């Protein structure tokens, strides 16, 4: 993405200087979207992929540097086995199908979450996608898969405790920066804006640490219907917020 392109495509009522650096999204409502149309739930997930692709392209066009999408939570294993299997296969198929286009569009892919328990063919496709796009300089696209914030925080605690135990760091070395460096999102700015579709007002174990001062935008729209215009509205709302980070202006 070039700066010129983002200047051309950004809606005139959005302030280029106040575009969030990092947008996170909870893509909720796929099942309801399908049910409302008399389709099986998996059709909603399929449609959800199209909405995610459009959002990624839109973020790129409008100068957003990082997009993080919640694709599968540590709790989602509790869904019916056929839905879980469908989602795993969908992730793998989409990754394989879209990789060349991601390369053309300079997208850098990172999967966040405990990937070790995913099907091995999906793990291989994930590693391949991350390696292949590692040097891309465009938008950073994070896909949270088997992600749970509590699990991520515990994982960081274990890693840090091991460093202390092995005398590689001292207790006093533990600070916010060191802690963040052990989260799956290490090296990334924290989200400025989290969008949740389908009207639910909770974080659902997503980016609990990272969202300490992130703005939350909830829309009634079901995920497969979330489009550029809806995103535009979310950004307009975000740009009205007075972000004080606990201080006074």
Contact set with ligand FPP (CB under 6 A): 27-32, 45, 48-49, 52, 69, 71, 76, 91, 94-95, 143, 198
Please identify which of the residues 28, 30, 146, 192 carries the catalytic annotation: 28
Pair 236, 14: CB distance under 8 Å: yes
Question: Helix or strand or coil: residue 41?
Answer: helix
Question: Which residue, 152 or 156, is less far from ligand FPP as judged by CB?
Answer: 152
Q: How far is the CB of 89 from ligand FPP (least distance, A)?
A: 11
* Minimum distance, C-beta of residue 134 to ligand FPP, in the bound complex (Å): 18
| Residue from 64, 57, 124 nearest 91 by CA | 124
Question: DSSP letter at 199?
Answer: T
Minimum CB separation of residue 135 from ligand FPP in Å reads 21
DSSP for 165-191, written as a single string: HTTSS-GGG--HHHHHTTSTTTTSPPP
- Strand order across the beta sheet in which 193-196 lies: 108-112, 140-147, 66-73, 22-26, 193-196, 215-218
Least distance to ligand FPP, CB of residue 118, Å? 12
Which two structure tokens, joined as six digits, stand for 144? 């949270």
Selecting among 13, 15, 50, 76, the annotated active-site residue is 76
76 is catalytic: yes
Q: Is 60 a catalytic residue?
A: no
CA distance 106 to 112: 19
Distance, in Å, from the CA atom of 235 to the CA atom of 230, rounded to the nearest integer, reads: 9
Q: Is 16 or 36 the residue whose CB approaches ligand FPP more closely?
A: 36
Q: For residues 94 and 115, which CB has a smaller minimum distance to ligand FPP in the complex?
A: 94
Closer residue to ligand FPP (CB): 48 or 214: 48
User: Which of 95/193 has CB closer to ligand FPP?
Assistant: 95
Q: To which H or E segment does residue 30 belong?
A: helix 30-36
Beta carbon of residue 228, minimum distance to ligand FPP (angstroms, whole number): 17
**Residues with a known catalytic role:** 28, 76
């Amino acid at each position: 993405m070039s700066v010129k392109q983002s200047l051309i495509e950004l809606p005139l009522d959005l302030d280029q200087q106040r575009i969030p650096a990092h947008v996170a999204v909870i893509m909720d409502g796929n099942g309801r979207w399908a049910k409302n149309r008399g389709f099986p739930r998996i059709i909603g997930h399929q449609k959800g992929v199209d909405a995610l692709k459009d959002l990624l392209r839109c973020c790129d066009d409008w100068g957003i540097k990082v997009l993080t999408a919640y694709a599968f939570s540590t709790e989602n294993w509790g869904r019916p086995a056929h839905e879980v299997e469908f989602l795993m296969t969908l992730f793998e198929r989409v990754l394989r199908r879209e990789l060349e286009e991601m390369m053309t569009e300079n997208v850098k892919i990172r999967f966040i979450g405990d990937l070790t328990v995913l099907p091995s063919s999906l793990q291989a496709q994930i590693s391949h996608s991350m390696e292949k796009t590692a040097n891309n300089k465009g938008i950073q696209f994070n896909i949270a898969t088997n992600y749970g914030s509590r699990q991520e925080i515990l994982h960081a605690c274990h890693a840090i405790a091991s460093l202390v135990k092995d005398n590689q760091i001292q207790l006093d070395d533990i600070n916010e920066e060191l802690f963040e460096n052990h989260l799956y999102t290490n090296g990334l700015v924290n989200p400025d804006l989290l969008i949740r579709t389908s009207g639910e007002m909770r974080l659902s174990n997503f980016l609990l640490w990272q969202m300490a001062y992130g703005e939350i935008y909830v829309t009634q729209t079901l995920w497969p219907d979330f489009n550029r215009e809806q995103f535009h509205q979310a950004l307009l709302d975000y740009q009205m917020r007075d972000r004080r980070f606990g201080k006074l202006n």
